[in-house]
Structure 1
Amino acid sequence: MSDQNEALDILINDFISMVESSTLIFERKFGTRDIRRLWYTKTIKRRGRVTRGVKYELHGVGCRINLSTGSVDFDYGPNGEINGFDTWRLYNFARERPSKHRKYCDEKIIKKELEEYLNLKKIKKMSAFSNLYVWADSKETD
């Protein structure tokens, strides 16, 4: 495997890890990682503060979480999954961390390498109804 692909692995894993740790904050505060239903039922506002230094903004099927260490924007999967990624989300994540992911501050590079991963069957579509990808060995998909 080339350094190029190892770097994409790092970017994807960093993104998923930040979504995981960020949504754990939701679970501690609200009892669920998928807070969309709370918004839909007006239990919480579309944007707000979870704890000091942690803010969220829900949008469509996703959420942007702002922490003191940076932000992450992700979409929930069709069944509330949080392990999905796409070109746009990885690009924005990398742009906020240029010292670590400088190469991926170019959206075209991410798109090209994700296509290579898809062809190599390292990643797959989360579902027929989603534009998100997951690792091919992910247990949260069919």
Structure 2
Amino acid sequence: MMFEGHEKDLIELIKNYIACSKYWCRLLKDNFGIHDKTTLRARRMNLIPSKGALEELTFSFHGGGCYFEFEGGAIDVDFGPDDRHDGFDSQRLFDFIKSSKKDYSSFLSQEDIEKYLNLLFENKVIIKPNWYPNPHLYYLNI
């Protein structure tokens, strides 16, 4: 299915969010040598501190996720099953936009994002499988 306009822009935003999430989560796990446990399990076992700073970023765990700040932006990641970090919702995407230097002027509010997320969901481009520990997250289905 080919999308144009705002739907295409939202798919690009989602892919950028996922790439950013993947990068920072991998850096965190690599820095603490966590390869045999999920990020949240490692945090709960105190193998990763609840807050900290690495050379390139600061991080702060919360509930089922982690907030990362870095030069040029910030990202709030909620984890899915098996250490997935590619889930998103309108709030996380909008916060990502606000901290980004990239132009996402197609989306001026969280409601704008929610509207187009609903269209992508209806067209099965994204799914919402209600996975623990964060059942509110959407995932790309393409």
Question: TM-score range with shorter-chain normalisation?
Answer: 0.7 to 0.9
Shift in Å, 1:4:
1.3
Higher relative CO (CA 8 A, sep ≥ 6), structure 1 or 2?
2
Contact map agreement 1:95 1:105 (CA 8 A) in 2: no
Shift in Å, 1:102:
2.2
What do the CA deviations read for 1:49-95 (whole angstroms, capped 9, x no partner)? 1x213111000000011111211101000332111111110010111
- Percent sequence identity is 24
Alpha-carbon separation, structure 1, partners of 2:101 and 2:32: 32
Q: Map residues 30-41 of structure 1 onto 2, 5 A cutoff.
A: 30-32=32-34, 34-41=38-45
Contact map agreement 2:32 2:47 (CA 8 A) in 1: no
Matching residue of 1:81:
84
2:46 is aligned with 1:46: no
Alpha-carbon separation, structure 2, partners of 1:24 and 1:128: 21
Q: Which runs of 5+ in 1 are unaligned?
A: 138-142
Alpha-carbon separation, structure 2, partners of 1:82 and 1:27: 12
Aligned positions, number: 136
Alpha-carbon separation, structure 2, partners of 1:91 and 1:115: 15
* Residues 55, 98 of structure 1: alpha-carbon distance in 2 compared, 3 angstrom cutoff: closer
Show structure 1 runs of 4+ deviating over 4 A.
Answer: none
The TM-score, its normalising length taken from structure 1, stands at 0.86
Shift in Å, 1:27:
2.5
The TM-score, its normalising length taken from structure 2, stands at 0.86
2:7 is aligned with 1:5: yes
Contact map agreement 1:94 1:105 (CA 8 A) in 2: no
Q: Which runs of 5+ in 2 are unaligned?
A: none
User: More displaced, 102-111 or 28-37?
Assistant: 28-37
Shift in Å, 1:98:
6.2
Matching residue of 1:100:
103
Shift in Å, 1:99:
4.8
User: More displaced, 40-49 or 87-96?
Assistant: 40-49
Matching residue of 1:25:
27
2:140 is aligned with 1:135: yes
Contact map agreement 1:95 1:102 (CA 8 A) in 2: no
2:89 is aligned with 1:72: no
CA RMSD of aligned residues (A): 1.8
